Amino acid sequence: MRAEALSLVEAVKQSVGLLRRHLDVETAERRLAELNAKVEDPNLWNDAEAAQKIMRERTDLDDRLGSLARFESELEDAVGLIELAEAEGDADVEQEGIDQLKNLKLEAERRQIEALLSGEADANDTYIEVHSGAGGTESCDWARMLFRMYARWAERHKFKVDVIEETSGDEAGLKSGVILVKGHNAHGWAKTESGVHRLVRISPFDSAARRHTSFASVWVYPVIDDRIEIDVKESDCRIDTYRSSGAGGQHINTTDSAVRITHIPSGIVVACQGERSQHKNRATAWNMLRARLYEQELEKREAAASATEASKTDIGWGHQIRSYVLQPYQLVKDLRTGTTSGTPDDVLDGDLDPFMEAALAQRLEGGAQAAIEDVE
């Protein structure tokens, strides 16, 4: 085989080997057999919470073991295709086999990163919250673009997306919005997106067609398990109700169904208007507040455990993590990792995996280095 094909084969084999070692295939297969037996128990759903946990673990193990088997099978098929094409002198078919190897390599590398998502809340569902910055309509429009970008990213991963809160701008766009992304490792993948995002473009709202710079902030925090105790005193909170301002038909604007909770000691504010019932919105807002407080506690623990977390102090207003330039040239650049894309339209349509993977890899490398330094 050509050198390019041999290199790709070796890279895929290396990734698959690392995945096998990380998963511990024999142990995983035994555990999957145990879970399959539990699933067949007719009394399983007597405890719905325990049943859901079992089903999630079973699905995860089945997916990871199935991926390994598929990688090995597809690698064998691609190698066979290339060898056959070389024997028959068919360059087009040979290139097809090489393209298959390239795709397999990218997916295997992504699985490697995903396999290392072992943070306390990485496997959980996640909230993604977007706020417009200073700049009026221009920034509100940018916040709306980011809101859509994360929804499209979630849909690409076949995650479920629920709109929790959506406050429209005075003229266009979005002042703030929250989506709930439901899926395995949703938080683990999205957690590095917290920070300030900068847009440079010719403003569609400027009659003089001048270039504008806009900012919006993104905050990502995990949905927490009901069994995790978070002490929130109602006396420490201010609860406001108001009329919803987002989409939802006539009824949504006729009652004060939206709920905003301000946690006075921490200054954390959450809001929910996704349901017509004030009672349901209130319950969701309390869950969001507990999640935010839990995420805050996780940050404190991580900061104490690893010096690399000190960099989080730079992820705040005025400290952008990524720039999206639409004019005078086309470029998206992550300022933490140096990852770039020359197709901003694709990124804004949810093609965020390269940026997330690079940020996760950087964080994992930093954590590993910190652990080595601690040992030394």
The structural domains of the chain, ordered by start, are 3-115 (1.20.58.410), 126-375 (3.30.70.1660)
Put simply, whether the predicted model's pTM sits higher than 0.75 gets the answer no
pLDDT along the chain (376 residues), means of 10: 90 88 88 94 88 86 91 94 93 93 89 76 90 87 96 95 92 92 92 93 83 92 73 89 63 69 92 86 90 80 48 49 94 96 97 93 61 39
Give pLDDT, residue 333. Answer: 97
Give pLDDT, residue 231. Answer: 76
Give the 3-state DSSP-derived string for the chain, with helices as H, strands as E and coil as C.
CCHHHHHHHHHHHHHHHHHHHHHCHHHHHHHHHHHHHHHCCCCHHHCHHHHHHHHHHHHHHHHHHHHHHHHHHHHHHHHHHHHHHHHHCCHHHHHHHHHHHHHHHHHHHHHHHHHCCCCCCCCCCEEEEEEECCCCHHHHHHHHHHHHHHHHHHHHCCCEEEEEEEEECCCCCEEEEEEEEECCCHHHHHHHHCEEEEEEEECCCCCCCCEEEEEEEEEEEECCCCCCCCCCCHHHEEEEEECCCCCCCCHHHCCCCEEEEEECCCCEEEEECCCCCHHHHHHHHHHHHHHHHHHHHHHHHHHHHCHHHHHHHHCCCCCEEEEEECCCCCEEEECCCCCEECCHHHHHCCCCHHHHHHHHHHHHHHHHHHHHHHHC
Give pLDDT, residue 233. Answer: 87
Give pLDDT, residue 304. Answer: 53
